[in-house]
Structure 1
Amino acid sequence: MDKNIKNKVVVITGASSGLGEATARHLAEKGAKVVLGARRTEHLERIVSDIKSAGGEAVYWATDVTKKEDVHALVHKGISTYGRIDVIINNAGIMPIAPMFDVRTDEWDNMIDINIKGVLYGIAVALPIFQKQKSGHIINLGSVAGIKVFSPGGTVYSGTKYAVRAISEGLRHEVGSIIRVTTIEPGAIDSELKNSTRHQESSVGVNEFYKLAIPATSVARAITFAIEQPDDVDINEIVIRPTIQDF
């Protein structure tokens, strides 16, 4: 177990599957105490049970990141259980791909609410806590689509992930003297993200693209790498793709 991860309290949103689940399991194996949030509590119950059975420490809280009060309750579940939090991983996200001319404003709203505002709500709850204890680590999940616009079809999704990257960099500049900030920008990773596309033609393309996906544990290891660095080292940005991926 790594001395800079062992006993750290890590809050993870979107923890019921994919990157969130893989990261929770990996960090728990390293000795972290994980606090898992998502809407699907039956999945969280299973993950927490598995972690505890393996000798780890974990709790969960039903969390919809579009609701500020839910994110607040998740973080404070960590504090009430373990006495503090050390890391928050703002991982929850959706990726409904569709051409702009389809004008799917409901999908646009959902992406903005989850991918941007959900991240901001996590920051808003954790930041005062981290400022008070003069330490902490905020990890935001971006995307390679926040580096290069994924179009046609992913224009609005890219917009949300560009926002995450900008928010993370501005936050680092503002609070970096005492709080670490990391943006993780994955390419095609095996998760449920691709399943949020409802536009039929786009869904075919997305599923074809994701045939080259690498396991979610690849991202879990990258997140672990950022957390386990000495306190005076801040890994600000990690871009991780399948070797074969050109986008």
Structure 2
Amino acid sequence: MKSLQGKTAIITGASSGIGAAIAKVLSGEGANVVLAARRIDKLKEVEQVISSQGNGKALAVRTDISNREDVENLVKKVEEAFGSIDVFVNNAGQMLSAAVQSGKVEEWESMIDVNIKGVLYGINAVLPSMLERSSGHIVNIASVSGLEVTKTSTVYSATKFAVRAISTGLEKELARTGVRVTNISPGMVDTRLSKSASDRKKLKAEDIAKAVMYAVTQPDYVNVNEITVRPV
């Protein structure tokens, strides 16, 4: 297993749920983790927990992932604090009213801004330096909703189909550059976003964090392109 000791990872949507779990798991293996989200109070709570573990360092940076300038400033702050960025986890996401018949255009726009534009802004901000070093790993958290569509998930599924398409195309673009791309599609996870689906069996956030850990600790010549994680 490749060591994460001294490596630096940015995790978006890290104030709770899957993002916080990813940050804690990567830090536990010695990585410096940068926590990015809009809720700075929640980020600080996660930062404190990680710092108390005594492994990798933690840094909380308030970031609106749908704002390109915010994302670029995030990357600049991380480079100033830690130098190079080794792992970038595009985890931030929104799951709002997604049926076309609902007519909730503002909610669709918000999902598109966070789930698609936010992913692209993050990739665009970290990719040049990764290519320059011929090293780095981009992990995009999609969803099983990007594999199949229900009658109530149309727009949300469209955004997660887009994440998978970005991951697939980027992996081909970056072949033999040294920069790796992994797309992870979780099933229903017990987080703030899934509270309305209380009658269904759910994964734990830590299950997705372990999938991220598996991908980013493979030898440099191994690129894990796609992981789907579902509850039994």
TM-score, normalising length: structure 2: 0.96
Cα shift readout 1:18-37 (whole Å, capped 9, x = no counterpart): 00000001110111110110
Q: Residue 227 of structure 1 aligns with which residue?
A: 216
Q: Residue 97 of structure 1 aligns with which residue?
A: 97
Instruction: Summarize the alignment of residues 109-124 of structure 1 with structure 2, pairs less than 5 Å apart.
Output: 109-124=109-124
Q: Residue 131 of structure 2 aligns with which residue?
A: 131
Matched, 1:161 2:160: yes
Q: Residue 28 of structure 2 aligns with which residue?
A: 29
Once residues 99 and 69 of structure 1 are traced to their aligned partners in structure 2, the CA distance between those partners, rounded to angstroms, is: 31
Deviation of 1:3 after TM superposition, in Å, equals: 4.5
- AA at the equivalent of 2:90: N
Once residues 192 and 8 of structure 1 are traced to their aligned partners in structure 2, the CA distance between those partners, rounded to angstroms, is: 29
Structure 1's unaligned 5+ residue stretches are: 196-202
Cα shift readout 1:24-58 (whole Å, capped 9, x = no counterpart): 01110111110110000011111111111110311
**Contact (CA 8 Å) 2:98, 2:155: kept in 1 or not?**
no
**Contact (CA 8 Å) 2:188, 2:194: kept in 1 or not?**
no
Deviation of 1:99 after TM superposition, in Å, equals: 2.8
Q: Residue 208 of structure 1 aligns with which residue?
A: 199
RMSD between superposed Cα atoms in Å: 1.2
Once residues 80 and 144 of structure 1 are traced to their aligned partners in structure 2, the CA distance between those partners, rounded to angstroms, is: 36
Q: Residue 144 of structure 1 aligns with which residue?
A: 144
Question: Structure 2 vs 1, CA of residues 33 and 102 (structure 1 numbering), >3 Å: closer, same or farther?
Answer: same
Deviation of 1:70 after TM superposition, in Å, equals: 1.0
Query: What is the percent sequence identity of the aligned residues?
Result: 46
Give every structure 1 segment of 4 or more consecutive aligned residues whose post-TM-superposition deviation is greater than 4 Å.
none
Structure 2's unaligned 5+ residue stretches are: none
- AA at the equivalent of 2:62: A
SS at match of 1:232: coil
SS at match of 2:183: strand
Deviation of 1:98 after TM superposition, in Å, equals: 4.3
Deviation of 1:73 after TM superposition, in Å, equals: 1.6
Instruction: Summarize the alignment of residues 181-220 of structure 1 with structure 2, pairs less than 5 Å apart.
Output: 181-194=181-194, 203=196, 206-209=197-200, 212-220=201-209
Once residues 207 and 61 of structure 1 are traced to their aligned partners in structure 2, the CA distance between those partners, rounded to angstroms, is: 32
Q: Residue 199 of structure 1 aligns with which residue?
A: none
Aligned residues: 230
SS at match of 2:59: strand
